[in-house]
Structure 1
Amino acid sequence: MGVQSREWSRESAEGIQAVRLSEVLGALSHALDLTEGQPAGHCVRACWIGVHVGRELGLNEAALWELYYTLLLKDLGCSSNAARICQLYLTDDLSFKRDFKTVGNRLPQVLSFVLSHTGLKAGLAERFRAVVNIVQNGGEIARELIETRCQRGAEIARQLRFPEGVAQGIQSLDEHWNGGGKPYGIAGAEIPVYSRIALLAQVVDVFHTSTGEAAARHEVRARSRTWFDPQVVEAFERVAGSPAFWEVLRSDDVETAIFALEPAQHIESADEDYLDDIAAAFARVVDSKSPYTSGHSDRVAFFADLIAGEMGFDEAGRRSLRRAALLHDIGKLGVSNEILDKPGKLDETEMAAMRHHALHSETILSRIRAFEGLARIGGAHHERLDGKGYPRRLKGDEIGRETRIISVADVFDALTADRPYRAAMPVSKAMGILEADIGAAFDPACVDALRRALDRIEGRQAQRGFA
């Protein structure tokens, strides 16, 4: 087999050494940036800003550790409202989310945003109905979208074993000092301090990245006592007086600087079991993006594991393969739900955007030393043996065995699950499609292994029914 298989085998044989949790989650935060429509590194930069503010406020080391991960993971729930945004606003969720972060609370700003972002590709009557619905019910719509996002983010933080302080910090991210935020309208000191800092850090990065330091500082002052805790604003002003703070924030080395910021007494390592949990948690983020992909990553991991078992993989190899299956589609967080959920055929531009998700997956996972093998699979799981796949048109032995397994598992699940353009297929029909493309798209050994595994399961079910 090719280089991919040899390198994977070495990883499986030796096992993956424990790595810093900050490295893993810092890298995966780039996936959250994608689905928020933010420039790469948004969560990392927000972490740089927020931790400095927290230190200036005098938070102790334990609190700084919780703040650090609240900032890196503040957007954990961001994928859960993407489909609903597309449905309500008839628009691209990525540009909607990106631009919404620059909108204040004043009615003219909000109305201008709604008119400029709602149903621009829809018919006039359909667009008019959508705008009227949003204007009439805007408060409740915003509360629903934010509540979904914040609650899901808090749930996933708990799944990642973070303490309740981190979960609550994520859940209250969009609350405002004056009580005008969402989803619960809590105010002042009722809002967790991590949330107060994270909201300010988020706004600073959005305006600094798009417009510059002066705009960021102006926006913070303008929102003091309405959005922002005035004490947090004062702490930020002191931090912002340092040219070195802005120099690092603008630099390509900000991610390295973030790893150095993790409180020394609380540096955590991610062992094998925790890496499994992280993969499962981020698979949940991915699958929340679309109602049609709910459970997809879990099922692909299940089918890939069945195939690997039939092909004689050892437990270490199967474990790594399950992780790869869980994270193979993480790049889809960068694809708009206008495309993911489209009921008809994609046009050339839409298809190009969809195909780019494989490279997104590879780029995100390649940032993590422990996931190097997974990155190659994420980038190649839509390649075909005949060289007609994407994104690199690999062929034959250029495609590793593990990638071939996940390709079969991925397509089998896609065929046997509901999609926006068709209902789920029976297993027999799906297997027929796979077998018809053996040698061109799919490895015969992988398809045969899936067939044997499914027959074995069906046989056991029949035996139980007979008994």
Structure 2
Amino acid sequence: MIFNIYLTNLLKAFSLALELTDGGLSRHHWRTAMVADRIGGQIGLAQGPRQNLLYAALLHDIGAASRWDEKNSLYSHKPITDLYWHAEEGYRLLVDSPLFKALAKPIRHHHDRWDGSSPSGLAGKDLPLAARIINLADTFEVLINDGRYILDQREDILAAIVRHSGSQFDPDLVEALGEAAYKDSFWFDLATPHYFDHFFHSLQSHGQVRLNIDGLLGAAEIFATIVDRTSRFTATHSRTVAAVASFLAGVKGYSDTETKIMRVAGLLHDLGKLTVPNQILEKPGKLTPREFTVIKQHAYYTHRILTQVDGFELIAEWAAFHHETLDGTGYPFRIPPANLRLGCRIVAVADVYAALREDRPYRPSMPLSDVEKIMLDMAAARRLDADIVHTLFAAGDTVEEILPGTCPA
């Protein structure tokens, strides 16, 4: 099966996942990408390099997404002790990816200074051009104060950038940014949320990338890794859910391609969990009502992010409805049982199974016999699909053999 989607559209959605907060969605990566693209256009960057610049800008802080406090510090004016660890982590996440490996080096160096005083020791034009542009665009975006009229900030922001020309930034790129920022419309575009749709639509001229299901699985694996790093208790959770869900899909007669789509849904089902602070995910005691509401929003954001990608409607549904229930009281959408498709029910069963078989901060992993009893009780209460639960445990050791390897005997 081929997914005829724009890679820009896919990365637009994934970049939002990188900046989820408990207050909703920020737009740091989107605005950084807009500024970077304007600089690229100003210097006459060719279409191919300009396309890769955009993609790298959309993912430039991918290495920070799993660490809540550090991620928030990057988008504020707070001092940061180490700007480079997340850039290196982003490089490691992407360097072996067939789809994203061209972005790894620019992301690795996107905080390196023009004067060579960064740990890499690279200086001047030895630094990748895309990295130099993203460094400038990233800093520029962080200087924007959303609580202040945008044109009132122009002189202060540009003056702050110019002060670091020749030390932190490439002087030629600073000049190009100044030329692009001469237009009032440059600033109004950055301050207008609705402009993003126009911006990304205009960039579809970069070309439509045809992704087969295996290419999509590779991208999903990267983001599953990011999500599962949010807590030391979920090191393989997304992969466990993906393995169990795709196994159950196969037993239920899904085709090979459909079982791979189910695996993608399993890998991405907790994408919205990047909106949950690490301290809540790792809290050893009972959650407060407020903390539980923060937890509940993760499925909502999984759905909202994935539905932005053309052709992802089914994946978004299977992934995001894993906390909906057959009694209609699940969250966050309260889907009527008649509208809760089999794929959603499969992911729900796989998610509960994985969670019970893994350590959690408030309890150790449960033995298989206890897991079976709990899940059968949930099925009897119409919290889970009884047929799928029975199918799961009828498979016996077969399910355990396909798990990533962290669940105890």
Q: Tell me the TM-score range normalised by the shorter chain.
A: 0.7 to 0.9
Distance 1:43 1:100, change over 3 A: closer
Cα distance in 2 for residues equivalent to 1:457 and 1:434: 15
Higher helix share: 1
Cα distance in 2 for residues equivalent to 1:267 and 1:385: 39
> Is structure 2 residue 71 aligned with structure 1 residue 97?
yes
> Is structure 2 residue 253 aligned with structure 1 residue 312?
yes
Distance 1:39 1:455, change over 3 A: closer
- Asked if the contact 2:241–2:351 (Cα under 8 Å) also holds between the matched residues in 1, the reply is yes
Equivalent position of 2:114 in the other structure: 177
Distance 1:166 1:414, change over 3 A: same
Equivalent position of 1:203 in the other structure: 139
Distance 1:316 1:459, change over 3 A: closer
Equivalent position of 1:122 in the other structure: none
Displacement, 1:344? 1.4
Distance 1:281 1:344, change over 3 A: same
Equivalent position of 1:260 in the other structure: 202
Displacement, 1:396? 2.6
- Asked if the contact 1:306–1:450 (Cα under 8 Å) also holds between the matched residues in 2, the reply is no
Equivalent position of 1:166 in the other structure: 103
In structure 2, runs of 5+ residues without a counterpart are: 403-409
Displacement, 1:102? 3.7
Cα distance in 1 for residues equivalent to 2:366 and 2:90: 33
Code of the aligned partner of 2:252:
M
- Asked if the contact 1:33–1:42 (Cα under 8 Å) also holds between the matched residues in 2, the reply is yes
Distance 1:322 1:194, change over 3 A: same
Equivalent position of 1:154 in the other structure: 91
> Is structure 2 residue 112 aligned with structure 1 residue 190?
no
Code of the aligned partner of 1:68:
L
**What does residue range 39-78 of structure 1 map to in structure 2 within 5 Å?**
39-78=25-64
1:404 to 326, 345, 356: 345
Query: 271-280 or 169-178, which moves further after superposition?
Result: 271-280
Cα distance in 2 for residues equivalent to 1:35 and 1:191: 32
Displacement, 1:17? 4.1
> Is structure 2 residue 211 aligned with structure 1 residue 225?
no
Distance 1:267 1:437, change over 3 A: closer
What secondary structure, in the 3-state scheme, does the structure 1 residue paired with 2:112 have?
coil
Cα distance in 2 for residues equivalent to 1:278 and 1:420: 29
- Asked if the contact 2:161–2:174 (Cα under 8 Å) also holds between the matched residues in 1, the reply is yes
Displacement, 1:16? 5.8
Distance 1:423 1:59, change over 3 A: same
Cα distance in 1 for residues equivalent to 2:74 and 2:324: 36
Per-residue Cα deviation, 1:184-210 (whole angstroms, up to 9, x for no partner): 354333332211111211122222253
Equivalent position of 2:244 in the other structure: 303
Q: Aligned-residue CA RMSD in angstroms?
A: 2.6
What secondary structure, in the 3-state scheme, does the structure 2 residue paired with 1:208 have?
coil
Displacement, 1:337? 0.5
- Asked if the contact 2:107–2:131 (Cα under 8 Å) also holds between the matched residues in 1, the reply is yes
Distance 1:201 1:457, change over 3 A: closer
Cα distance in 2 for residues equivalent to 1:161 and 1:244: 37
Per-residue Cα deviation, 1:92-133 (whole angstroms, up to 9, x for no partner): x35x53344443xxxxx74xxxxxxxxxxxxxxxxxxxxxxx
> Is structure 2 residue 393 aligned with structure 1 residue 451?
yes
Cα distance in 1 for residues equivalent to 2:172 and 2:328: 59
Code of the aligned partner of 1:98:
N
Distance 1:452 1:152, change over 3 A: farther
Equivalent position of 1:121 in the other structure: none
Cα distance in 2 for residues equivalent to 1:220 and 1:318: 50
In structure 1, runs of 5+ residues without a counterpart are: 1-14, 83-92, 104-108, 111-137, 461-467
Distance 1:263 1:70, change over 3 A: farther
Equivalent position of 1:423 in the other structure: 364
Cα distance in 1 for residues equivalent to 2:392 and 2:357: 14
Cα distance in 2 for residues equivalent to 1:253 and 1:171: 29
- Asked if the contact 1:77–1:156 (Cα under 8 Å) also holds between the matched residues in 2, the reply is yes
What secondary structure, in the 3-state scheme, does the structure 2 residue paired with 1:405 have?
helix
Cα distance in 1 for residues equivalent to 2:268 and 2:311: 13
- Asked if the contact 2:114–2:169 (Cα under 8 Å) also holds between the matched residues in 1, the reply is yes
Cα distance in 1 for residues equivalent to 2:185 and 2:96: 36
Cα distance in 2 for residues equivalent to 1:394 and 1:261: 35
Distance 1:400 1:48, change over 3 A: same
Distance 1:391 1:64, change over 3 A: same
**What does residue range 102-181 of structure 1 map to in structure 2 within 5 Å?**
102-103=76-77, 110=79, 142=82, 146-147=84-85, 149-162=86-99, 165-181=102-118
Cα distance in 1 for residues equivalent to 2:99 and 2:256: 28
Displacement, 1:392? 2.8
How many residues end up aligned between the 2 structures?
Answer: 395
**What does residue range 203-352 of structure 1 map to in structure 2 within 5 Å?**
203-208=139-144, 210=146, 211=148, 212=150, 213-214=153-154, 215-251=156-192, 252-261=194-203, 264=206, 267-352=208-293
Per-residue Cα deviation, 1:54-112 (whole angstroms, up to 9, x for no partner): 222233333212212111111221224x1xxxxxxxxxx35x53344443xxxxx74xx
TM-score in terms of structure 1 length: 0.77
Equivalent position of 2:377 in the other structure: 436
